[in-house]
Chains A and B, each alone.
Chain A
Amino acid sequence: MTEDENNLLDVAPGSPHDNIVSEVAAYVIGLGLALLMTGVSFWVASTSVLWGPGVAVGLVVLAIAQIGIHLVFFLHVTSGPDNTNNVLALAFGALIVFLVMIGTIWIMAHMNANVGMAPEMMNLQMQR
């Protein structure tokens, strides 16, 4: 493989040199970690060893960790200077996603709890 062809290849995370082994290794590490996270998620959800009320929070944390693994090992989003634009776009996207999700659930829960209406209107659970 010539020098020029080497420049055509992608940079695997954490490896300055471009070769097929390190590139495949990055995907394999990503797959291994993602499988681990998935396995832990399913275990955490089905075990009774852990403190019940904390399980849902733990699952969300595991999901965010797994999303991070996908971003780094599969999508090659890194903190390097050549990734600045990708990371900034991702940060903005994540901001909007969290605003929409947390904001909606927070506000709707408060509305559900605090806004007094006719009893049949009050509870979202009663709505079709």
Chain B
Amino acid sequence: MTTEAATIGLTHGGSEDTGLGHRGPESKSIVVPYGFWLFVLSDMVLFSALFASYGTLVQATDGGPTTHQLFHRDLVAVETIALLLSSFVCGLAMIAAKRANMVWTQAWLIMTGLLGAVFLGIELYEFASMIGEGAGPQRSAFLSSFFTLVGCHGAHVTAGLLWLGTMMAQIWAKGFQQHIVRRLLCFSIFWHALDIIWVGIFTIVYLIGTL
């Protein structure tokens, strides 16, 4: 029991096992989150390519609107706070889930989802008003790369919200079984990773773009 469910964090629960194979394969509760961690890192590599193309094309405005004219820092600040709090609350949900507390887990997960929805709503509002001003992705290479980078992050958040709803339903229907909690842990890794990518976006795209 202790080794099988030793931990639902990324750590090995403080054991002296180095994970170098002395005791054979690790338990699923270690291997699955590790594999998901590798996926998240490869997702970061995907985003690094989008950041690189954005950095290359940010000046290529073709006489159209520039970063200074398009971006509003106050909106971005609200987005940033919403996503950061969402990430934090997701961590609280994991703490509740470890203790198999249904009410608090669901409550924190709803908070996570609502804050994520606030973030997504503001982002969609920003996109809609930009496209309304004629600054859509087809306007210039800069705007193409902007919508690809930020839109890809927004698509990840959308997928995360769908995943979140699925997890809430599964926890509700099946309880805190090991494989369900494992999926929830993978979701929390995904959600924290999205916030990490957003740190790069609000710094490089919005803050440096409006210096």
Partners in one complex: yes
- On A, residues with C-beta under 8 Å from B are 4, 7-11, 16, 20, 23-24, 27, 30-31, 34-35, 38, 41-42, 45-46, 52, 55-56, 59-60, 62-63, 66-67, 70-71, 74-78, 80-86, 89-90, 92-93, 96-98, 100-101, 103-105, 108, 124-128
- Are the C-beta atoms of B45 and A97 separated by less than 8 Å? yes
- Are the C-beta atoms of A127 and B141 separated by less than 8 Å? yes
Tell me the complex Cα distance, A81–B19, Å: 9
Please, which residues of chain B bring their CB within 8 A of the CB of A83? 10-11
Tell me the complex Cα distance, A128–B34, Å: 42
**Can you give 18 A-B contacts (C-beta < 8 A)?**
A10-B13, A11-B9, A16-B14, A74-B91, A76-B9, A80-B11, A80-B14, A81-B16, A81-B18, A90-B37, A96-B48, A100-B49, A101-B51, A104-B55, A105-B55, A108-B56, A124-B57, A126-B60
- Are the C-beta atoms of B199 and A10 separated by less than 8 Å? no
Query: Other CB < 8 Å A-B pairs besides A41-B202, A45-B73, A92-B41, 5 of them?
Result: A11-B11, A34-B84, A45-B207, A45-B208, A126-B62
Residue of A nearest to B47 (CB): A97
- Majority secondary structure of chain B interface residues (helix, strand, loop or mixed): helix
Q: A77-B10, A82-B13 are in contact. Are A124 and B48 (CB under 8 A)?
A: no
- Are the C-beta atoms of B98 and A127 separated by less than 8 Å? no
In the complex, B131 has a CB within 8 A of chain A? no
Number of B positions contacting A (CB below 8 A): 67
Please, which residues of chain B bring their CB within 8 A of the CB of A38? 77, 80-81, 84
Please, which residues of chain A bring their CB within 8 A of the CB of B203? 41, 59-60, 62-63
Tell me the complex Cα distance, A30–B94, Å: 15
- Are the C-beta atoms of B189 and A75 separated by less than 8 Å? yes
Question: Which residues in chain B, 1-60, are within 8 Å of chain A measured between CB atoms?
Answer: 1-2, 5-20, 34, 37-38, 41-42, 44-45, 48-49, 51-53, 55-57, 59-60
- Majority secondary structure of chain A interface residues (helix, strand, loop or mixed): helix
Please, which residues of chain A bring their CB within 8 A of the CB of B192? 70, 74-75
Q: How far does the Cβ of A119 sit from chain B's closest Cβ, in whole Å?
A: 16
In the complex, B210 has a CB within 8 A of chain A? yes
- Are the C-beta atoms of B200 and A27 separated by less than 8 Å? no
Please, which residues of chain A bring their CB within 8 A of the CB of B94? 10
Residue of A nearest to B91 (CB): A27
Candidates A52, A82, A96; contact of B11 at CB < 8 Å? A82
